[in-house]
Protein backbone atom coordinates (compact mmCIF):
# COMPACT_ATOMS: atom_id res chain seq x y z
CA UNK A 1 0.00 0.00 0.00
CA UNK A 2 2.66 2.48 1.08
CA UNK A 3 5.87 2.08 -0.89
CA UNK A 4 8.58 3.61 1.27
CA UNK A 5 11.49 2.65 -1.04
CA UNK A 6 13.32 0.87 1.78
CA UNK A 7 13.00 3.76 4.21
CA UNK A 8 10.53 1.90 6.44
CA UNK A 9 13.36 0.82 8.72
CA UNK A 10 14.52 4.40 9.18
CA UNK A 11 11.00 5.45 10.15
CA UNK A 12 10.78 2.54 12.57
CA UNK A 13 14.07 3.59 14.19
CA UNK A 14 12.65 7.11 14.45
CA UNK A 15 9.47 5.82 16.06
CA UNK A 16 11.54 3.98 18.67
CA UNK A 17 13.43 7.17 19.51
CA UNK A 18 10.14 9.11 19.63
CA UNK A 19 8.78 6.68 22.23
CA UNK A 20 12.07 6.82 24.13
CA UNK A 21 11.99 10.62 24.16
CA UNK A 22 8.29 10.58 25.11
CA UNK A 23 8.74 8.19 28.04
CA UNK A 24 11.82 10.04 29.34
CA UNK A 25 10.04 13.40 29.20
CA UNK A 26 6.93 11.93 30.80
CA UNK A 27 8.97 10.67 33.76
CA UNK A 28 10.43 14.16 34.24
CA UNK A 29 6.96 15.70 33.83
CA UNK A 30 5.41 13.41 36.45
CA UNK A 31 8.08 14.07 39.08
CA UNK A 32 8.14 17.80 38.35
CA UNK A 33 4.33 17.91 38.39
CA UNK A 34 4.11 16.06 41.69
CA UNK A 35 6.71 18.35 43.24
CA UNK A 36 5.12 21.55 41.91
CA UNK A 37 1.65 20.38 42.99
CA UNK A 38 3.00 19.85 46.53
CA UNK A 39 4.44 23.37 46.39
CA UNK A 40 1.08 24.74 45.27
CA UNK A 41 -0.76 23.21 48.22
CA UNK A 42 1.99 23.90 50.75
CA UNK A 43 1.68 26.55 53.46
CA UNK A 44 4.82 28.35 52.33
CA UNK A 45 4.04 31.51 50.39
CA UNK A 46 7.32 31.47 48.48
CA UNK A 47 6.83 27.88 47.27
CA UNK A 48 3.26 28.64 46.22
CA UNK A 49 4.39 31.75 44.35
CA UNK A 50 7.19 29.87 42.57
CA UNK A 51 4.92 27.01 41.51
CA UNK A 52 2.23 29.45 40.36
CA UNK A 53 4.76 31.42 38.30
CA UNK A 54 6.11 28.22 36.76
CA UNK A 55 2.71 26.98 35.55
CA UNK A 56 1.53 30.43 34.44
CA UNK A 57 4.59 31.12 32.30
CA UNK A 58 4.93 27.65 30.80
CA UNK A 59 1.29 27.48 29.79
CA UNK A 60 1.49 30.85 28.08
CA UNK A 61 4.48 30.23 25.81
CA UNK A 62 4.53 27.92 22.74
CA UNK A 63 6.55 24.70 23.05
CA UNK A 64 8.55 25.55 19.93
CA UNK A 65 9.75 28.86 21.40
CA UNK A 66 10.79 27.12 24.62
CA UNK A 67 12.63 24.37 22.74
CA UNK A 68 14.53 26.95 20.67
CA UNK A 69 15.19 28.99 23.81
CA UNK A 70 16.70 26.00 25.63
CA UNK A 71 18.63 24.55 22.70
CA UNK A 72 20.06 27.77 21.26
CA UNK A 73 19.54 30.25 24.07
CA UNK A 74 20.70 28.41 27.20
CA UNK A 75 24.27 27.69 26.00
CA UNK A 76 24.83 31.28 24.83
CA UNK A 77 23.36 32.62 28.07
CA UNK A 78 25.73 30.43 30.12
CA UNK A 79 28.66 31.46 27.94
CA UNK A 80 27.81 35.13 28.40
CA UNK A 81 27.56 34.69 32.18
CA UNK A 82 30.86 32.83 32.33
CA UNK A 83 32.49 35.39 30.06
CA UNK A 84 31.38 38.05 32.54
CA UNK A 85 33.47 36.27 35.17
CA UNK A 86 36.38 36.11 32.76
CA UNK A 87 36.05 32.49 31.71
CA UNK A 88 35.99 31.79 28.00
CA UNK A 89 34.31 28.45 27.32
CA UNK A 90 32.20 26.90 24.59
CA UNK A 91 29.02 25.15 25.71
CA UNK A 92 26.60 23.12 23.65
CA UNK A 93 23.71 20.85 24.59
CA UNK A 94 22.91 17.73 22.63
CA UNK A 95 19.44 17.70 21.03
CA UNK A 96 18.28 14.71 23.05
CA UNK A 97 18.91 16.30 26.46
CA UNK A 98 17.59 19.68 25.34
CA UNK A 99 14.45 18.10 23.89
CA UNK A 100 13.70 15.79 26.80
CA UNK A 101 14.40 18.47 29.40
CA UNK A 102 12.22 21.05 27.63
CA UNK A 103 9.29 18.74 26.89
CA UNK A 104 9.46 17.35 30.44
CA UNK A 105 9.61 20.86 31.87
CA UNK A 106 6.62 22.04 29.79
CA UNK A 107 4.36 19.09 30.51
CA UNK A 108 5.39 19.16 34.17
CA UNK A 109 3.30 22.33 34.33
CA UNK A 110 0.27 20.53 32.92
CA UNK A 111 0.86 17.54 35.23
CA UNK A 112 0.97 19.98 38.17
CA UNK A 113 -2.66 20.94 37.61
CA UNK A 114 -3.62 17.27 37.27
CA UNK A 115 -1.95 16.33 40.56
CA UNK A 116 -3.34 19.35 42.37
CA UNK A 117 -6.85 18.35 41.32
CA UNK A 118 -6.20 14.76 42.34
CA UNK A 119 -4.92 15.82 45.76
CA UNK A 120 -8.05 17.88 46.38
CA UNK A 121 -10.20 14.92 45.31
CA UNK A 122 -8.88 12.71 48.14
CA UNK A 123 -11.43 13.01 50.99
CA UNK A 124 -10.21 15.16 53.90
CA UNK A 125 -11.59 12.66 56.41
CA UNK A 126 -9.00 10.10 55.37
CA UNK A 127 -6.15 12.51 56.09
CA UNK A 128 -7.69 13.29 59.49
CA UNK A 129 -8.05 9.56 60.16
CA UNK A 130 -4.39 9.04 59.27
CA UNK A 131 -3.42 11.81 61.68
CA UNK A 132 -5.58 10.21 64.36
CA UNK A 133 -3.67 6.96 63.80
CA UNK A 134 -0.48 8.88 64.56
CA UNK A 135 0.99 9.20 61.07
CA UNK A 136 3.05 12.30 60.32
CA UNK A 137 2.83 14.39 57.13
CA UNK A 138 5.23 12.39 54.95
CA UNK A 139 3.89 9.04 56.10
CA UNK A 140 0.29 10.16 55.44
CA UNK A 141 1.26 11.30 51.99
CA UNK A 142 3.08 8.09 51.15
CA UNK A 143 0.53 5.69 52.61
CA UNK A 144 -2.83 7.42 52.20
CA UNK A 145 -2.82 10.36 49.79
CA UNK A 146 -0.41 9.28 47.04
CA UNK A 147 -1.91 5.82 46.37
CA UNK A 148 -5.37 7.35 46.01
CA UNK A 149 -4.19 10.34 44.01
CA UNK A 150 -3.14 8.05 41.17
CA UNK A 151 -6.73 6.98 40.67
CA UNK A 152 -7.92 10.55 40.23
CA UNK A 153 -4.83 11.61 38.29
CA UNK A 154 -4.83 8.82 35.69
CA UNK A 155 -7.33 10.31 33.18
CA UNK A 156 -5.56 13.68 33.32
CA UNK A 157 -2.09 12.12 33.05
CA UNK A 158 -3.31 10.11 30.07
CA UNK A 159 -4.28 13.35 28.35
CA UNK A 160 -0.91 14.91 29.19
CA UNK A 161 0.85 11.88 27.67
CA UNK A 162 -1.21 12.09 24.46
CA UNK A 163 -0.33 15.76 23.97
CA UNK A 164 3.28 15.16 25.02
CA UNK A 165 3.98 12.37 22.53
CA UNK A 166 2.71 14.59 19.71
CA UNK A 167 4.80 17.51 20.97
CA UNK A 168 7.97 15.39 20.63
CA UNK A 169 7.64 15.92 16.86
CA UNK A 170 8.87 19.49 17.51
CA UNK A 171 12.27 18.19 18.58
CA UNK A 172 12.90 17.38 14.92
CA UNK A 173 13.48 21.13 14.56
CA UNK A 174 16.71 20.74 16.54
CA UNK A 175 17.79 17.80 14.36
CA UNK A 176 17.17 14.89 16.74
CA UNK A 177 16.65 11.85 14.47
CA UNK A 178 13.22 10.94 15.83
CA UNK A 179 10.21 9.92 13.74
CA UNK A 180 9.50 13.32 12.23
CA UNK A 181 13.12 14.09 11.36
CA UNK A 182 13.62 10.66 9.78
CA UNK A 183 10.40 11.07 7.79
CA UNK A 184 11.82 14.36 6.54
CA UNK A 185 15.07 12.64 5.52
CA UNK A 186 13.12 9.89 3.75
CA UNK A 187 10.88 12.46 2.04
CA UNK A 188 13.87 14.32 0.64
CA UNK A 189 15.62 11.14 -0.51
CA UNK A 190 12.63 9.46 -2.14
CA UNK A 191 10.97 12.67 -3.43
CA UNK A 192 7.72 11.23 -2.11
CA UNK A 193 6.95 13.65 0.75
CA UNK A 194 3.28 12.75 1.02
CA UNK A 195 3.93 9.02 1.31
CA UNK A 196 6.67 9.46 3.91
CA UNK A 197 4.86 11.95 6.12
CA UNK A 198 1.65 9.95 5.84
CA UNK A 199 3.53 6.83 6.98
CA UNK A 200 4.95 8.83 9.89
CA UNK A 201 1.46 10.01 10.81
CA UNK A 202 0.31 6.37 10.90
CA UNK A 203 3.11 5.60 13.37
CA UNK A 204 1.83 8.43 15.58
CA UNK A 205 -1.74 7.13 15.25
CA UNK A 206 -0.55 3.66 16.28
CA UNK A 207 1.15 5.12 19.35
CA UNK A 208 -2.07 7.00 20.20
CA UNK A 209 -4.22 3.88 19.85
CA UNK A 210 -1.91 1.72 21.97
CA UNK A 211 -1.70 4.49 24.61
CA UNK A 212 -5.50 4.67 24.68
CA UNK A 213 -5.80 0.94 25.31
CA UNK A 214 -3.12 1.10 28.01
CA UNK A 215 -4.90 4.03 29.67
CA UNK A 216 -8.20 2.13 29.75
CA UNK A 217 -6.47 -0.89 31.29
CA UNK A 218 -4.69 1.28 33.87
CA UNK A 219 -7.90 3.08 34.83
CA UNK A 220 -9.79 -0.19 35.30
CA UNK A 221 -6.91 -1.49 37.40
CA UNK A 222 -6.68 1.67 39.50
CA UNK A 223 -10.43 1.64 40.13
CA UNK A 224 -10.71 -2.03 41.02
CA UNK A 225 -11.26 -1.13 44.67
CA UNK A 226 -14.19 1.21 43.94
CA UNK A 227 -17.72 -0.04 44.32
CA UNK A 228 -20.04 0.90 41.46
CA UNK A 229 -23.76 1.11 41.59
Partner 1 sequence: MDFQIIIESIPRLLDGTLVTLQITALSILLGFCLAIPLALMRVSKNRLISVPTYGFIFYFRGTPLLVQIFLIYYGSGQFQEFLSQVSLWNFFKEAYFCAVLALTLNTAAYSAEIFRGGIEGVPYGEIEAAKACGMSGALLYRRIVLPKAIRIAWPAYTNEIVFLLQASSLVSIITLMDITGVARVISARSFAFYELFLFVALIYLILVYGLLFICKRIEKRLTGYLNFQH
Write out the residues near partner 1 by the rule CB under 8 A.
57, 59-66, 68-69, 72-74, 76-77, 80, 166-170, 172-173, 180, 183-184, 187, 191-195, 197-198, 200-201, 204-205, 208-209
Report the residue number, 130 or 199, with the smaller CB distance to partner 1: 199
With respect to partner 1, which residue has the nearer C-beta, 135 or 173?
A: 173
Least separation, in Å, of the C-beta of 34 and partner 1?
23
CA distance 225 to 223: 5
Minimal distance, residue 76 CB to partner 1, in Å: 5
Residues 6+ apart with CB under 8 A from 179: 11, 14, 15, 17, 18, 169, 172, 200, 203, 204
How many angstroms from the chain centroid is the CA of residue 27? 7
Smallest gap from residue 53 Cβ to partner 1 (A) = 11
Question: Taking CA 42 as the corner, what is the angle to CA 40 and CA 44, rounded to the nearest 5 degrees?
Answer: 105
Residues contacting residue 145 through CB under 8 Å, at least 6 positions apart: 119, 122, 126, 127
Cβ-contact 42, 48 below 8 angstroms = yes
Between 39 and 66, whose beta carbon lies closer to partner 1? 66
* Closer by beta carbon to partner 1, 3 or else 128: 3
CB of 227 to partner 1, least distance (A): 27
Amino acid sequence: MLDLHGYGGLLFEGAKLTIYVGVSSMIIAVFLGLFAALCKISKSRILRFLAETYTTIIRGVPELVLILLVYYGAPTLLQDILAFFGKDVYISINPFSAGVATIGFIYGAFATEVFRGAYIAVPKGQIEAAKACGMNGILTFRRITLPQMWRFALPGLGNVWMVLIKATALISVIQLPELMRNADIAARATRKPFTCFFAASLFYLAITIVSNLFQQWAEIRANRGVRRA
